[in-house]
Amino acid sequence: MTKLTCFKAYDIRGRLGEELNEDIAWRIGRAYGEYLKPKTIVLGGDVRLTSEALKLALAKGLQDAGVDVLDIGMSGTEEIYFATFHLGVDGGIEVTASHNPMDYNGMKLVREGARPISGDTGLRDVQRLAEAGDFPPVNEAARGSYRQISLRDAYIDHLLGYISVNNLTPLKLVVNSGNGAAGPVIDAIEARLKALGAPVEFIKIHNTPDGTFPNGIPNPLLPECRDDTRKAVIEHGADMGIAFDGDFDRCFLFDEKGQFIEGYYIVGLLAEAFLEKHPGAKII
């Protein structure tokens, strides 16, 4: 039995090569399939240069376990969460190392209803099976299928459902996608808002997906990674700035002076807005 050190408390992350490679990705897919026994799951991957190969190896492991795979292509983690819930499938996996260094990659796993799989909700069981590698022979007659799909339009519909476009006032936004997976989604949001006549102007920086991350690893939580967004807000006289990490499951906001806004202030603002729509709701 091989100890797999890429399994962490809440996800899978490891240095490429020894800790995470295509063989290990196949074993993870096979273990996920044998443990949860899903009928259909969705897969996606971020812009890292190794994500596509790892995703396809993962898909093969899932198919060998009899799971049908729907591949939504280059995507962010939030799109996997959305796809899992929207399609009503049995789970989803995003291949991503988020904001980790270049020589890393990883995976985030969910089950039906887009419920995260962590150490105490199944991840340790998947690890145990992947480490043992004692899988039953592949039944070719029952092998799962593989299909590529796109849910981008449905995802944009979902996002815009949170706002009333008619109530938008003129707004100039700096958006820094960090050369990650957020870029195409930002393009789609911009196009949709323009078609609806919304008075929103986008100033996009580092918007083109690029797995070499020519402008640095997208981790706006680090002070040294905030300067480009700050400067763009000031230069363009923007109302605010938004910076995403690599798989856009986190974003960070800047005010009209280019100053970074700490997360606890954002929680308060969002809570206030949600409570107006849902009085008495609990905020976690």
CA pair distance 180, 76, nearest whole angstrom: 9
| Residues recorded for the chain | 284
Q: Are 118 and 39 in contact (CB under 8 A)?
A: no
Report helix, strand or coil for 186. Answer: helix
Active site residue 98: yes
Q: Are strands 91-95 and 40-45 parallel, antiparallel or unpaired?
A: parallel
Q: What is the CA radius of gyration of the chain?
A: 20
Q: In which residue are the tokens 């960090």 written?
A: 178
Say how far apart CA 29 and CA 126 lie, in whole Å. Answer: 9
- Catalytic residue, chosen from 51, 98, 150, 177, is 98
- Burial class for 135, CB neighbours closer than 10 Å (0-12, 13-18, 19+): middle
CB neighbours (10 Å) of residue 104?
20
3-state class percentages of the chain: helix first, strand second, coil last, to nearest 5:
40, 20, 40
Nearest of 130, 42, 32 to residue 93 by alpha carbon: 42
| CA 33-35-36 angle, 5° bins | 70
The residue among 195, 197, 198, 176 whose CA lies nearest residue 245 is: 176
Q: Phi and psi (nearest 5°) for 6? A: -75, -15
Residues serving a catalytic function are 98
